[in-house]
């Protein structure tokens, strides 16, 4: 005769919990998202700041496109203050928004608030800045950020004709904000291109500041960059000339150029060095046309906004979003499935592309 295992109250309770959990997972299709799918409801858009024209445009473009796709939107800007963005996201969760799209001010400061989003069944898309240290981010939409740095560095190499024989040139290196994960991708891409010339002595960093930690610019602030460039010139370039400056972003570039002008660059006997940039912001494109900033990297944020909307709409309608990178963007907790768009290098020879693409009008650039 077979002996039966006693069915205690505790065992029955455990079996009931397992059964309900399994049923719940089956009803959600194995997803942590809320069960409802389809159009409608509100999408929360958490942007970092209005101090940069690109973030204003990103927020506006996403809001318009989500609305056209059948959703309400709640667009908030954190004024580059982490506590503001956290409070805004908490409010979005409390209001029951169906999706969050977050361009983080500090990519490592959102762990707790995004855990709340996960607990509430709200999916999260990281927008242009990877959110670090959390499993509560589902997808990432951005540009190929290592390629951005490579385009900037390649421009310096080509402009100074470093591939052939010649004299050494002096370069100074700037990086983005230390709390933005994109900073390391821009930097790594640029250094990958510049390293052979730095190692051979064809490029010389007179300040000796070759490490990422020495080159970062908190909050991508142009004023901070200007002060650092002032200091680099006064301490290292008495009778020497700065031939190139690796700058990761247009706002930083404008600060660098202000410092260079204050030191006498931009005159007939002392032309400005090669200065790179990123984002093709209007002021910097005009600077490129005027022969001051030398280069910028165009990232069509309208296309990025459209991609984020497509990803979000897919998630909210029970579909798997399109991604093209599932191995490179590890946030320390998971590899986040990503969609990366291609950036384009812009200098004085091809600013017309921005008009052709409808990004600016000819009148804006005149």
Whether residue 316 is found in the same domain as residue 279: no
Domain boundary among 269, 299, 329: 299
* Within a domain: 362: no
287 with 149, same domain: the answer is yes
Q: Write down the pLDDT at residue 358.
A: 96
Residue 128 placed within a domain: yes
360, part of any domain: no
Domain assignment of residue 12, yes or no: no
Instruction: Work out the pLDDT band at 30, boundaries 50, 70, 90.
Output: very low
What pLDDT was estimated at residue 35? 54
CATH code for the domain of 160? 3.40.50.2300
Asked if residue 29 belongs to a domain, the reply is no
Cβ-contact 46, 103 below 8 angstroms? yes
Per-residue pLDDT, averaged over 98-112, amounts to 97
> Is residue 17 over pLDDT 70?
no
Residues 169 and 274 in one domain: yes
| Whether residue 184 is found in the same domain as residue 288 | yes
By residue range, what is the domain housing residue 82? 42-137+300-341
Q: How far is CA 304 from CA 58, 209, 292, 314, in A?
A: 8, 34, 28, 15
23, pLDDT greater than 80: no
Q: Secondary structure of 118-129 in the HEC alphabet?
A: HHCCCCEEEECC
First and final C-alpha spacing in the chain:
96
**What is the spatial distance between Cα 175 and Cα 189, in angstroms, rounded to a whole number?**
12
- Looking at the fold, whether 198 and 314 belong to one and the same domain comes out as no
CA-closest candidate to residue 159, choices 349, 344, 351: 349
Distance from C-alpha of 352 to C-alpha of 285, rounded to nearest angstrom:
10
What's the pLDDT at 169?
98
Residue 353 belongs to a domain: no
Same domain, 223 and 316: no
The CA distance from 128 to 303, in Å, is 12
Give yes or no for residue 191 having a pLDDT over 80.
Answer: yes
The helix, strand and coil proportions of the chain, stated in percent and rounded to the nearest 5, come to 45, 15, 40
Coil vs helix vs strand at 147: helix
Residues 118 and 204 both lie in one domain: no
Instruction: Tell me the per-residue pLDDT of 194-252, one tens digit each, with 9 for 90 and over.
Output: 999 999 999 999 999 999 999 999 999 999 999 999 999 999 999 999 999 999 999 99
3-state secondary structure of 151: helix
What pTM does this model have?
0.83
- Give the model's pLDDT for residue 38: 83
Same domain, 150 and 221: yes
pLDDT confidence of residue 308: 98
> Is 2 among the domain residues?
no
- 325 and 186 housed in the same domain: no
Q: To the nearest whole number, what is the mean pLDDT of the chain?
A: 91
Task: Please indicate, yes or no, whether residues 156 and 270 belong to a single structural domain of this protein.
Answer: yes
Same domain, 169 and 295: yes
HSE, side-chain direction, 13 A CA sphere, residue 352: 2
Structural domain total, the chain: 2
Give one word for 319, left, alpha or beta, with left for phi > 0 and alpha for psi -120 to 50: beta
Is 154 among the domain residues?
A: yes
Same domain flag for 92 and 207: no
- Per-residue pLDDT tens over the stretch 269-306: 899 999 999 999 999 999 999 999 999 999 999 999 99
Q: Which of 243, 267, 299 is the last residue of a domain?
A: 299
């Amino acid at each position: 005769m077979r002996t039966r295992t006693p069915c205690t109250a505790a065992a029955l309770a455990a079996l009931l919990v397992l059964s309900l959990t399994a049923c719940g997972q089956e009803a959600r299709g194995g997803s942590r998202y809320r069960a409802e799918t389809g159009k409608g409801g509100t999408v929360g858009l958490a942007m970092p700041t209005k101090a940069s024209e690109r973030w204003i445009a990103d927020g506006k473009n996403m809001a318009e496109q989500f609305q056209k796709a059948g959703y309400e939107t709640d667009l908030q800007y954190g004024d580059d203050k982490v506590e503001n963005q956290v409070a805004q996201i908490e409010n979005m969760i409390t209001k029951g928004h169906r999706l969050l799209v977050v361009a983080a001010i500090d990519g490592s400061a959102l762990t707790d608030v995004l855990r709340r989003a996960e607990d509430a069944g709200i999916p999260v898309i990281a927008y242009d800045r990877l959110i670090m240290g959390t499993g509560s981010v589902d997808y990432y939409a951005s540009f190929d950020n290592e390629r951005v740095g490579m385009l900037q560095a390649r421009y310096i190499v080509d402009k100074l004709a470093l591939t052939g024989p010649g004299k050494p040139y002096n370069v100074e290196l700037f990086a983005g904000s230390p709390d933005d994960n994109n900073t390391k991708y821009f930097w790594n891409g640029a250094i990958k291109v510049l390293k052979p010339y730095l190692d051979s002595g064809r490029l010389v960093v007179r300040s000796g500041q070759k490490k990422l930690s020495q080159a970062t610019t908190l909050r991508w602030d142009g004023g901070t960059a200007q002060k650092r460039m002032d200091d680099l010139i006064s301490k290292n370039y008495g009778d020497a000339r700065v031939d190139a400056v690796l700058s990761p972003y247009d706002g930083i570039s404008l600060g660098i150029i202000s410092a260079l002008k204050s030191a006498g660059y931009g005159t007939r006997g002392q032309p400005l060095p090669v200065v790179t940039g990123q984002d093709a912001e209007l002021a910097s494109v005009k600077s490129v046309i005027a022969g001051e900033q030398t280069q910028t990297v165009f990232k069509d944020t309208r296309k990025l906004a459209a991609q984020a909307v497509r990803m979000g709409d897919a998630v909210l309608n029970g579909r798997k979003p399109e991604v093209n990178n599932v191995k490179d963007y590890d946030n320390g907790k998971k590899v986040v499935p990503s969609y990366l768009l291609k950036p384009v290098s812009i200098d004085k020879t091809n600013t017309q592309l921005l008009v052709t693409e409808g990004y600016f009008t000819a009148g804006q650039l005149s």
